[in-house]
Amino acid sequence: MFKVFKELYEDAKNIASKDPACRNVLEVMILYPGFHILLFYRLAHFLYRHKLFFIARLVSQTGRFFTGIEIHPGARIGRRLFVDHGMGIVIGETATVGNDCTIYHGATLGGTGKDKFKRHPDIGNNVMVGAGSKILGQIKIGDNVKIGAGAVVVKNVESNCTVIKFGEVINKL
């Protein structure tokens, strides 16, 4: 149980360090919906893993009601996720998000409607998902990738790239 609180504190410290408008960790814990949704998600994911699917969805939908951020309890989220502003973010059931990622408002990690089992993307470590971007389908986004605001990504992206427009890679580090 102590591990859960330690990881949540780590999340809060990460948010405070990445957001220049933030004054301290306590401010994150009290005022930031991106932190609050992590509380809801971690509880919902615990319930989901223990096959309490209805209660898990109830918890996640309560979190959505309060924050405007929807993370399915079946999604797998790594450590130190920074959800900035957050309103309108959707993360699907079979999505995975690596460690040290940042997701801005209006982003979707969703499905295309064509797949039945694994339907959502896998996001690597240290990935920035820009505002309003859509990452759709059973695809893989490598480590250290930046997805530009408004981009639509439907194909795999190698590590160390920046993607804009309709999945167009503009540079590779």
pLDDT category at 27 given cuts 50, 70, 90 is very high
The model's pTM: 0.92
Q: What is the pLDDT of residues 111-151, one digit of tens each?
A: 998 888 999 999 999 999 999 999 999 999 999 999 999 99
Under the phi-then-psi rule, with left for phi > 0, alpha for psi from -120 to 50, and beta for the rest, what region is 46?
alpha
CATH number at residue 104: 2.160.10.10
Which residues 6+ apart lie within 8 Å of 20 measured at CB? none
**Domain, as residue range, for 18:** 2-172
> Up-side HSE of residue 118: CA atoms within 13 Å toward CB?
7
Q: What is the pLDDT of residues 50-100, one digit of tens each?
A: 999 999 999 999 999 999 999 999 999 999 999 998 899 999 999 999 999
The percent of residues above 70 in pLDDT, for the chain, comes to 95
Q: Are 132 and 112 in contact (CB under 8 A)?
A: no
Q: Does residue 109 have a pLDDT over 70?
A: yes
Number of domains in the chain: 1
pLDDT attached to residue 106: 97
Q: Does residue 171 have a pLDDT over 70?
A: no
Quote the tokens at residue 118.
Answer: 């694994």
Q: Are 138 and 115 in contact (CB under 8 A)?
A: yes
Under the phi-then-psi rule, with left for phi > 0, alpha for psi from -120 to 50, and beta for the rest, what region is 49?
alpha
Burial tier of 86 (Cβ tally within 10 Å: 0-12, 13-18, 19+): buried
Q: Does residue 173 have a pLDDT over 70?
A: no
